[in-house]
Amino acid sequence: MRNITIVVLALAFALTAFALVPTQHASADVNASPHHGTVHCVRYGETLYSIGRMYGVSPYAIARANGLYNPDYIRAGQCLRIPTGGGGYWPPSPPMPPAPGCYMVRFGDTLYSIATSRGLNPWCVATANGLANPNYIRAGQCLVLPPYCGYW
């Protein structure tokens, strides 16, 4: 009976000791460690190359840090760790201003909303930009808004 009491007390002590050890939860901030760098959530139309240029990091370093087997396949909404230190830096490029007479498509824009807000016919804008599918425009795309596209 004495041996059972000792085993139960030892087991209770061990469970209490493990319960007091702090653990890192899945919801912990990944930016807390200097080895992780920053986190970037991919937007539609971005590539590893464009993300790398944005942060001044090689796209291959980003692929390596995230365990990507195919660096050409990333999805919008996917969050990537951007490594810091090493990895083939180049100076980050400043954002390019839109060309004159060009509308830079923003996330959430549609061809219809862009054209009608400026009093233009959406089909005329699609034709002027050579869009085979007017439902397919992407953020960062430059659309020419011709002045001769009066609405209807």
Can you give the length of the chain in residues?
A: 152
Q: Between the CA of residue 110 and those of 107, 143, 152, what are the distances in Å?
A: 9, 11, 18
Say which residues have a Cβ less than 8 Å from residue 100's Cβ, sequence separation at least 6: none
In eight-state DSSP terms, residue 144 is E
Q: What does the pLDDT look like over 49-58, one tens digit per residue?
A: 888 888 888 8
Q: Name the percent of the chain lying above pLDDT 70.
A: 69
Residue range 88-104: mean pLDDT, rounded: 63
For residue 11, pLDDT beyond 80: no
Which residue do the tokens 């760790």 mark? 81
DSSP for residue 143 = E
Task: Examine domains 33-92 and 102-144 and report if their fold is the same.
Answer: yes
Q: What does the domain layout of the chain look like in residue ranges?
A: 33-92, 102-144
DSSP string for residues in 68-101? -S-TT---TT-EEEE--S-S---PPPPPPPPPTT
33-92: what fold?
Answer: Membrane-bound Lytic Murein Transglycosylase D; Chain A (3.10.350)
As a CATH number, domain 102-144 is: 3.10.350.10
Residues 37-54: what's their mean pLDDT? 85
* pLDDT at res. 112: 92
CB within 8 Å of 89: residues ≥ 6 apart: 56, 57, 58
CA distance 71 to 66: 10
**Residues 3-12: what's their mean pLDDT?**
74
